[in-house]
Amino acid sequence: MRYVGVCLLLCLGHISSIFASGPFGIEMGMSLAEVEQVCKSRPKHIGEDAYEIVPPKTNHSFTEYTVWIDPDYGVYWLKAIGKNIYTNGYGYELKSAFNDLVRNIRNIYGEENISINGLKSDSHFAEPKHFMYTLGTGERRLGAIWYEKKAQDILMNAFKDSTLVKKNAEMEELRNFIDTIAFNEGLPGNISVITVECKTDSPLSKIGYVILDYTFSNTLLVEQKANSVF
């Protein structure tokens, strides 16, 4: 299963209905029993806190849905993976689907706080025709991120290895970078972070997909619990 990381052309009305009572009908803090009760099939445990589900609200543009459920704090993360999009080296169709989704997410949650659209400076494949190749090698990223102001600690963890900052950046440099971001004062539904990103499974593949994920505000509690053993 592709783990990280939403490939779709969704009408605004349909998107609004999907997210009206929590993304895909899933709320922060739901227990495994509650998730099982609302889902269309029994959640499948795929490792640690992760469960593959068919949520109460689905869309044909997504093929996989995964939730992470902590025994104490319930649902703290939700990911949806889009269907395969067949494209060429330029990635036109993939970029179009990504842009359409980002536009629709903006209509619900406002402007993203970070837009990621860059190629590593040392890449030898800077031509537009190499879009899919560099996406597959990790030299290029195309994504958008919405952050709630209270999610700064989550942001620190998420960007330790980000291509937005130098790989050898010290934590103080990273914190200074984060301080330049205009955070949302709050996102609805106890959401701290929303991420949309393009992916492909191989540098030589002409198939891409887009991933949409939601990090809920109780994620920090889950992380603190995990760190408390030290």
* pLDDT at 185 > cutoff 80: no
Check: CB of residue 110 under 8 Å from CB of residue 186: no
d(CA 31, CA 13): 29
Q: Which residue has the tokens 């889009």?
A: 82
pLDDT score, position 150: 62
d(CA 221, CA 78): 16
* pLDDT at 184 > cutoff 80: no
Q: What is the pLDDT of residues 88-127, one digit of tens each?
A: 999 999 999 999 999 989 988 888 888 888 888 888 988 9
Number of H helices, E strands in the chain: 7, 9
pLDDT score, position 176: 59
pLDDT score, position 163: 46
pLDDT score, position 5: 34
Give the H/E segment covering residue 101: helix 92-109
Three-state DSSP class for 138? coil
pLDDT score, position 200: 95
Rounded to two decimals, what is the model's pTM? 0.77
Check: CB of residue 131 under 8 Å from CB of residue 117: no
pLDDT score, position 188: 80
Q: Which residue has the tokens 């689907």?
A: 97
Is the C-alpha dihedral spanning 39, 45, 47, 48 positive or negative?
positive
| Residue 106, amino acid | R
Which residue from 182, 193, 186, 184 is spatially nearest to 220, judged by alpha carbons? Answer: 193
Q: Which residue has the higher pLDDT, 108 or 17?
A: 108
Q: What is the pLDDT of residues 46-87, one digit of tens each?
A: 999 999 999 999 988 899 999 999 999 999 999 999 999 999
The answer for residues whose C-beta is within 8 angstroms of residue 148's C-beta and 6 or more apart is: 183, 184, 185, 186, 187, 191, 192, 193, 217
